[in-house]
Amino acid sequence: MSENPSLQEKLRQGIAAAQRGDRVTARRLLQQVLTADGRNELAWMWMASVVDNTDERRACLERVLKLNPNNTRAREALRRLGVEVPAGGTGSDESQRDTRAMPIQLRGNRSLYFALAAVLTLVLLTIVLVYLLGRSPSDADVRQTATVVALEQQATFEATTASTVTPLPTVFAAVFVTRDPNQNDLPPTFTPTPTDVPSATPLPTATPYPLENFPIFFSVALSGQPQTVLYSIRADGSDETTFGDATVEASDIALSPDGQQIAFIRWLPNAQDTNAPLTPQLFVAPVNDPASAQQLTQIVGTQMSRPGWSPDAAQIVFSSDEDGDEDLY
């Protein structure tokens, strides 16, 4: 492994990005490390955890075994992918390719597909344009249309001038109204008395709950710190506090439906191998006493995120790559 401080810093940042689930940043930083140091076993191991598909992950793991045939974690991960790995070898010729070019070659076919699709679309548009331009009206069609319009206008003019208008006699009408003395006058029309409609009773005005009654939990990475820290604050911006160990990275807080507990992810040292990268574990704590959080899992994977409570707050679901691929537990 290279002792370049710059590469070591990029490797550390790439591992931290992979641990918090930021695959895009992790791939970019690890790619820079592998471009400068293609024999960096740890960088290849972490790259296998953030690539997009199984083929890329297999290629990275095979490269790890090529560099270190005794890496049991890489060998076990390949077996989970269905690759038979003989003792002392990777079981694939693909690991012999140039390591610096591999992350780019893994995506070369996609660019070829996009280029072929663009060329095919351009050809189809050219065919449609030529077809539409070839359907312009001919001179014979224009002359025939002009002749029909002229004949219709001439017929209308002749019919208008040939007709004569016969004036109608003026008719005057008059109505004479007389009063019959033998008929009684009509009684006045009955006018009903209006009935007052009672006005609607106004609804009581809703009283909003004070904002200080609502706690908010969140995680944030402070300036200059690589890890995220858990915070709590009131909705009105008061009572901002840190809970838990501020030196240990934690993230992904989930509040239980009854509002009594919180679940979150905390990164801990590997109990079996102190030199191994930190592993994410699931913790649960009361809302009013986060410092008494209890660890629920003993996961050996490199990723864990998005805990969620069941409606009765009796179970928690989360995502982890315990078996090599991310699944729900």
Q: Mean pLDDT for the chain? A: 76
**The last residue of a domain, from among 80, 108, 136:** 108
Does residue 226 lie in a domain region?
yes
**The last residue of a domain, from among 89, 108, 127:** 108
- The pLDDT of residue 9: 93
Residue 90 has pLDDT above 50, yes or no: no
Does residue 59 lie in a domain region?
yes
Mean pLDDT of 59-85: 90
Burial of 248 (0-12, 13-18, 19+ CB in 10 A): middle
What total number of domains does the chain contain? 2
**The last residue of a domain, from among 108, 126, 160:** 108
Instruction: Report, in angstroms and rounded to the nearest whole number, the Rg of the chain calculated over CA atoms.
Output: 41
Mean pLDDT of 152-177: 54
pLDDT greater at residue 96 or residue 186: 186
Does residue 90 lie in a domain region?
yes
Residue 160 has pLDDT above 90, yes or no: no
Q: 215: Cβ–Cβ under 8 A, 6 or more apart, which residues?
A: 232, 233, 234, 235, 287
Residue 17 belongs to domain with CATH number = 1.25.40.10
| Residue range of the domain that includes 260 | 211-328
Mean pLDDT of 321-329: 83
Which region among 121-130, 142-151, 223-232 has the lowest average model confidence (pLDDT)?
142-151
137's tokens: 């009206």
49's tokens: 């955890």
- Contact 63/48 with Cβ under 8 angstroms? no
Reduce the DSSP state of residue 231 to 3 states and report it. Answer: strand
Does residue 121 lie in a domain region?
no
Spatial separation of the C-alpha atoms in residues 56 and 106, rounded to whole Å? 7
Which region among 41-45, 105-109, 252-256, 260-264 has the lowest average model confidence (pLDDT)?
105-109
- The pLDDT of residue 116: 79
- The pLDDT of residue 94: 43
Mean pLDDT of 257-269: 86
Residue 283 belongs to domain with CATH number = 2.120.10.30
Structure confidence by residue, pLDDT tens digits, 100-144: 434 434 444 456 667 778 888 888 888 877 777 765 444 444 344
